[in-house]
Structure 1
């Protein structure tokens, strides 16, 4: 198992690559569907998953999770894909950012989208709505969750950008990074061949 320093270095390295490259090298299987960025994107989000499962439209356990946030955590919320009530907004994202979180991934709705869109703190969700959440529970923290059809375990590496969100275990992340770098080099050569008018074959994606 990689130690904390190695994991931190891996996370930093993955920030340099887009989610399509990462997804391609995960057999194109993991990846959240239906989530989009609500922030002003300026580079990739990358961190380790602090997972939350909550009932539809209820954010009590997200508040509890904010008390557990460590620098570099991505708060990944399984809100059942429910879009009828917002689970987080400007206040909760501000709290998360102040505690060093790397971002929010919410399988549900947010609000205060105008404020979120002016900032660069990463926030991915399904939609925005003005209606506020319940705060009754139940829920769970640091359990396996499903967001946008993607299974995320506590501690997984989570990367997000303009194209979406992908998550994968720390185990095997170094090998994944090497494969991603190799594909980036191949694609750079293809783009060069196009610019030099010597591209001759289709590149399977």
Structure 2
């Protein structure tokens, strides 16, 4: 099924057009970024308390991708702040979805970057190596985010398209 470009960034319209092709994340994300709507191919990271893994990810060319971070194991500190947010912008990331916390929320709101997270804290990561994993399947809020699937976020939801957009456009 082809999705008209006029509804390409509306999660509700994408769901209505193809309910079986859209997975809606049930986590209560809050918008912290300067872009309320964003979309792009998924890249994933299971975070540890070692901030270098996240720094390394956002230092790569983003090429319009969305970094989905499972930070639930490090709920006592932020996975993303203004410096890593700026690095993500500089490297072409469309957005970052954090199942965890962020900090420097006012500065993140000023960046041209989509940011969704579960809350904020003042605490930074402390650098204990917890074994981060990159570009693996991540299950968050009933959705399996896999590298390459399209992630779409807007004022209503964060969703993953179950098929690639190329597949969605085939008859």
TM-score bracket, normalised by the shorter chain, equals 0.7 to 0.9
CA distance in 1, matches of 2:3, 2:119: 27
> Which is strand-richer, 1 or 2?
2
CA drift of 1:68 comes to 3.1
TM-score with structure 1 length normalisation? 0.70
Aligned to 2:142: 149
Q: 1:91 aligns with which of 54, 59, 83?
A: 83
Greater relative contact order (Cα 8 A, min sep 6): structure 1 or 2? Answer: 2
Counterparts of 2:97 and 2:136 in 1: how far apart (Å)?
Answer: 15
Q: Which has the higher helix share?
A: 1
Aligned CA distance change for structure 1 residues 22 and 49 (closer, same or farther; 3 Å):
same
Where 1:155 maps in the other structure, the secondary structure is: coil
Equivalent of residue 133 in structure 2, options 132, 140, 147: 140
- 1:203 is aligned to none
Q: Decide which structure has the larger Cα Rg and report it.
A: 1
Q: Does 1:104 align with 2:100?
A: no
Distance of aligned partners of 1:151 and 1:45 in 2 relative to their CA distance in 1, 3 Å threshold: same
**Structure 1: 5+ residue runs without aligned partners?**
1-9, 179-205
The alignment of Structure 1 onto Structure 2 pairs a total of residues equal to 165
Q: Which runs of 4+ in 1 moved over 6 A?
A: none
- 1:37 corresponds to which of 20, 31, 44: 31
Q: Distance in 1 between matches of 2:151 and 2:39?
A: 6
RMSD of aligned C-alpha atoms?
A: 2.7
Residues 75-123 of structure 1: CA deviation (Å, up to 9, x unaligned): 1111127542111110001101101111101100000001112333110
Change (3 A) 1:118 1:11: farther
Out of 77, 82, 86, the position equivalent to 2:69 is: 77
TM-score scaled by structure 2?
A: 0.83
2:12 pairs, out of 12, 15, 20, with 20
